[in-house]
């Protein structure tokens, strides 16, 4: 009996995820620039031809990984939940983010390595990322305004730089970095009850 459209779609999605997982595994062990499509296909247990039917290039595959990571980060921040309700809600979201970094170091390592690739610059200008970041910025701006910060935009940049910087440092040398110092600083500065 032939497969249904739903079964075909399920198989397609599983195969795509299998390829993504293989790429992430290889990217966690090697510099992404040194990983070829042939290596990814071999690791995934698929032919190069099949890989190209799902991903037109290694850069396309890398972008998919970055988008998947960004979606995950936004879900940790629960952006679909709406604006930060209050300081307690903000602190809880910060805790979830830092817990995720600590518990998913390989994913964060791959994500930060890929973001440093020259071909990834266009990812940040893609409509998907711009829309995601616009919503995040809007919600955070409203929260910072409600918290009484004189220059909410400046505070968002500073907080983002702290989170980005400590994440990169942590995935590079977790044994030397205490994430809780920055986690608690962010919560103390930006998560005060009014």
Q: pLDDT by residue (tens digit) across 147-162?
A: 999 999 999 999 999 9
* pLDDT of 74 above 90: no
**Site of tokens 């879900």:** 75
Q: How high is the pLDDT of residue 43?
A: 93
CATH number of 64-190: 1.10.357
User: What are the domain boundaries of the chain?
Assistant: 1-56, 64-190
Helix axes 105-115, 87-103, angle to 10 degrees: 90
Which residues, 6+ apart, have CB-to-CB distance to 49 below 8 Å?
none
Give the domain 1-56 fold. Arc Repressor Mutant, subunit A (1.10.10)
Contacts by 22-26 with C-beta closer than 8 Å and gap 24+? 23/61, 23/62, 23/65, 24/65, 24/106, 24/107, 24/110
Distance CA 82, CA 190 (A): 18
pLDDT in tens, 15-58: 999 999 999 889 888 888 889 999 999 999 999 988 898 889 88
Provide the pLDDT for residue 79.
60
In Å, how far are 34, 48, 142 from 102, measured between CA atoms?
26, 34, 28
Across 7-11, 109-113, 126-130, 185-189, the highest mean pLDDT is recorded for 185-189
pTM above 0.75, yes or no: yes
Q: Residue 64, Cβ neighbours under 10 Å: how many? A: 16
Whether 81 shows a pLDDT value over 90: the answer reads no
C-alpha pair distances (Å), 149 with each of 65, 84, 141, 161, 190: 35, 15, 10, 17, 9
Orientation angle between helical segments 58-76 and 37-44, nearest 10 degrees: 60
pLDDT reading at 138 higher than 90 = no
Q: What is the residue-wise DSSP string for 21-42?
A: HHHHHHHHHS-GGG--HHHHHH
| Distances from the Cα of 144 to the Cα of 8, 98, 192, angstroms | 47, 20, 11
């Amino acid at each position: 009996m032939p497969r249904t459209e739903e079964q075909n779609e399920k198989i397609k999605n599983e195969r795509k995820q299998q390829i993504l997982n293989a790429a992430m595994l290889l990217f966690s062990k090697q510099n992404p620039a040194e990983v070829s499509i042939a290596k990814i296909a071999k690791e995934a247990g698929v032919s190069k031809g099949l890989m190209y039917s799902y991903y037109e290039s290694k850069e396309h595959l890398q972008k998919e990984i970055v988008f998947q990571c960004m979606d995950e980060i936004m879900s940790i921040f629960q952006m679909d939940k709406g604006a930060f309700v209050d300081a307690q809600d903000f602190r809880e979201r910060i805790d979830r983010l830092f817990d995720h970094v600590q518990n998913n170091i390989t994913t964060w390592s791959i994500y930060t390595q890929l973001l440093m690739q020259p071909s990834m610059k266009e990812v940040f200008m893609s409509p998907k990322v711009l829309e995601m970041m616009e919503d995040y910025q809007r919600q955070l701006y409203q929260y910072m305004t409600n918290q009484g910060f004189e220059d909410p935009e400046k505070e968002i940049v500073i907080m983002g730089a702290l989170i980005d910087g400590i994440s990169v440092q942590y995935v590079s040398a977790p044994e030397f970095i205490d994430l809780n110092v920055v986690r608690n600083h962010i919560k103390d500065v930006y998560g005060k009850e009014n």
